[in-house]
Chain A
Amino acid sequence: MRFYSTLYVLCVFLSFLATSLSAQTAYEIVKKSDDLVRGKSSEATITMTIVRPDWSRSISMKSWALGTEYSLTVITQPARDKGTVFLKRKNEIWNWVPNIGRSVKLPPSMMMQSWMGSDFTNDDLVKESSVLEDYSHEMLSEETIDGKPAWKIKLTPKPDSPVVWGKVIMWITQKDFHQLKTEFYDEDDFLVNTLIGSEIKTFDGRSLPSKMEMIPADKPGNKTVFVYEDLKFNINAKPSFFSIQNMKKMGE
């Protein structure tokens, strides 16, 4: 069960790289910002921490992705799950269970789960909604965030888009196009989640926030933190890299 539910982290990671929340015009700013975190393929080392008032748990992994169809993720921490690997090819998912040396095919229904009650909704993660295609974009104002001049942009879902939010407000810095703050509102206009980007680092020649914190509005002391330790874009990964044989090798 734990191995299975860990799978979801992969989707969290992918959603950042592949469909990250992303306008001169508001649209162009969002697009420029979104392009920063996109690549046809990527390789990432990442740690995700769920923080609750009285406990926290972390999981670290290394992940390779090609588009949204192929990914391979190896769990490196915690010790209990080290060497567990997830392979996704289109709609098929396999799991390498290192202690028994076996690959297990997982049911698609497994994709619908979150990991340890993280603060990311299913819609954040699996529904491949695009900040560009599924929203209309409107410039609200210019504000300062973290001491940096930024555009404040409102994203409103298009009528038939697969989006659960009523609206999304995004602050994008004018110099580097960093998304330092994003607010997610429900259809009744109540704030649900705030995503904070910080700790700017240069990965593979791109300057990006290396830390992302998702903070639910109504649960004090709760948050989910992503830290990118390493990130490479447009790596030389072919579909053949995403194989059961490589899954097994990564788990060793």
Chain B
Amino acid sequence: MPINKATMKSKLVLLFLLIPFATATSQNFSYKGYLKYLSGFNSGNTFSPIYYNGIVHQRLETTTKFGEYFILKADVRNRLFHGFSVDDAGLYQSILEMDNGWKDLTFVPFSNNDFIFQTVIDRLQFTADYNEWQFNLGRQRLNWGKSMVWSPNDLFNNYAFLDFDYEERPGSDAVHLSYSYSFASDVQLAFKPGKAKNQSVYAAMWRTNIESIAYDIQFILGKFHSDWVLGAGWAGYIQNAGFSGELSVFNPSEKTTLASSFGLNYQFENGLFAQTEFLYNGGYASNQTNSSLFTPPSPKNLFPARQAFYANASFSITPLTQAGIGIMSSLDQQIHAILPQINFSLTQDIDFFIVAQIFRGDLLANAATQQNALYLRIKWSY
């Protein structure tokens, strides 16, 4: 079996690599991507020892159009890991080999004591587009969220806000059909098969725009694992500020769970952009771990506390330098994160980014020895 799986994997990789060449002469092929290097320094509050991790990260996104109606989108994420986490444990490789999709599209082509190389095909999506109709099959991103940080309406591919280096966020292996009947109105159906019983997700969404008050609204009905879910979301304005939010009610056999987030954003005349978001996380369980902070959470349980808020302010120091600071905190649990960041545009296509993640609070103190993290990232986009 391992041989078969490996063979299938190499065939897939080969197929993936051939797509661009087979169609490179065609005007219907386009690509983009980036190459970046992330340096991470982690430490406890004594700042000794300091652990170093580095990631060389390359991404290629391809779009191939076949005639007027068909599109194939294939994106690959290649990462070469080195540093403390690689030297420390083989556990790291086993984590990197995991793929939560219906098809395993995550590979570790080589690894030794110093380096691990991981390849993930995180979009592999066939699209058929016919007037108001669109059909998508494969690994795709089904983004049904309206909020920025926590998304109870994102039943298919929720994401960890603090995983800042995964800018594209994960996709899901799904079938999706949409019918658009006006500029902001459509009906969507989606199905994501699970690997095991009660792990599938299927849902329908209706969304529309109320022009008179300039609001987008949406309603969702579906099945999330073993729960029925009823959801609603909105995005509109209060005066000149943006106001958006989501709520989902999960109704399993034992207990009804409500998850809701809503927030405001505003740009001041001096360019300062301010953003807030509040989360009520009804699925919180007192014995849960902190993993939802760093790995994609369930829409039912988005944070290791019942209530949370996020506030962020960002502004341009110079036309080429953007700085910001975010605060993530909880009202009912001792958990706080301070997230300062700064980005320098070095050239048209090269950016240098510095971000710190400073965690405080009992909940994290007991769970993490590395409460202070500093990341430096250089990125060339092509």
Cβ-defined contact, A105 with B242, below 8 A: yes
Please provide the chain A residues from 213 to 252 with a CB less than 8 Å away from any CB of chain B in the complex.
239-240, 242-245, 249, 252
| Chain B residue with Cβ nearest A242 | B183
Cβ-defined contact, B216 with A116, below 8 A: no
Cβ-defined contact, A1 with B240, below 8 A: no
The segment from B7-15, B314-322, B367-375 that touches chain A is: B314-322
Chain B interface category by residue count: 35 or more
A53 beta carbon closer than 8 Å to chain B? no
The segment from A77-85, A127-135, A141-149, A189-197 that touches chain B is: A77-85
B-side contacts of A107, CB under 8 Å: 237, 240-242, 265-267
B254 beta carbon closer than 8 Å to chain A? no
B-side contacts of A82, CB under 8 Å: 32
Please provide the chain A residues from 76 to 135 with a CB less than 8 Å away from any CB of chain B in the complex.
78-80, 82-83, 89-92, 94, 99-102, 104-110, 112-113, 116-117
Cβ-defined contact, A105 with B216, below 8 A: yes
The segment from B108-116, B196-204, B268-276 that touches chain A is: B268-276
Please provide the chain A residues from 50 to 65 with a CB less than 8 Å away from any CB of chain B in the complex.
50, 52, 55, 57-58
Task: Say how far A98's CB is from chain B's closest CB, in angstroms.
Answer: 9
A201 to B127, CA, bound (A): 39
Q: How many A-B pairs fall under 8 Å by CB?
A: 105
A-side contacts of B242, CB under 8 Å: 105-107
* Binary contact track B239-272/A, C-beta < 8 Å → 1, others 0: 0111010000000000000000000011111010
A-side contacts of B143, CB under 8 Å: 100-102
A-side contacts of B382, CB under 8 Å: 79
B-side contacts of A203, CB under 8 Å: none
Count A interface residues, CB 8 Å: 42
A185 beta carbon closer than 8 Å to chain B? no
Cβ-defined contact, B168 with A99, below 8 A: yes
The DSSP consensus for interface residues of chain A is: mixed
Please provide the chain B residues from 91 to 135 with a CB less than 8 Å away from any CB of chain A in the complex.
127, 129, 132, 134
Cβ-defined contact, A78 with B141, below 8 A: no
A175 beta carbon closer than 8 Å to chain B? no
Task: Say how far B342's CB is from chain A's closest CB, in angstroms.
Answer: 12
The segment from B286-294, B344-352, B356-364 that touches chain A is: B344-352
A-side contacts of B73, CB under 8 Å: 252
A58 to B348, CA, bound (A): 7
Please provide the chain B residues from 126 to 157 with a CB less than 8 Å away from any CB of chain A in the complex.
127, 129, 132, 134, 140-143, 145
B63 beta carbon closer than 8 Å to chain A? yes
A240 to B180, CA, bound (A): 11
B18 beta carbon closer than 8 Å to chain A? no
Please provide the chain A residues from 179 to 211 with a CB less than 8 Å away from any CB of chain B in the complex.
none
Cβ-defined contact, A80 with B269, below 8 A: no
B167 beta carbon closer than 8 Å to chain A? yes
Task: Say how far B347's CB is from chain A's closest CB, in angstroms.
Answer: 8
A4 beta carbon closer than 8 Å to chain B? yes
Cβ-defined contact, B273 with A1, below 8 A: yes
A118 to B271, CA, bound (A): 13
Q: Which of B129, B240, B324 contacts A108 (CB 8 A)?
A: B240
A128 to B241, CA, bound (A): 21
A91 to B143, CA, bound (A): 24
Cβ-defined contact, B266 with A109, below 8 A: yes
B-side contacts of A240, CB under 8 Å: 182-183
Seen from chain B, the residues whose Cβ lies within 8 Å of a Cβ on chain A are 32, 34, 63, 71, 73, 127, 129, 132, 134, 140-143, 145, 167-169, 180, 182-184, 186, 209, 211, 214, 216, 235-237, 240-242, 244, 265-269, 271, 273, 314, 316, 319-320, 322, 324, 345, 348-349, 351, 381-382
Q: Can you spell out 12 A-B residue pairs with CB atoms less than 8 angstroms apart?
A: A1-B316, A1-B324, A57-B320, A79-B34, A80-B34, A80-B381, A90-B211, A101-B141, A102-B145, A105-B242, A107-B237, A109-B267
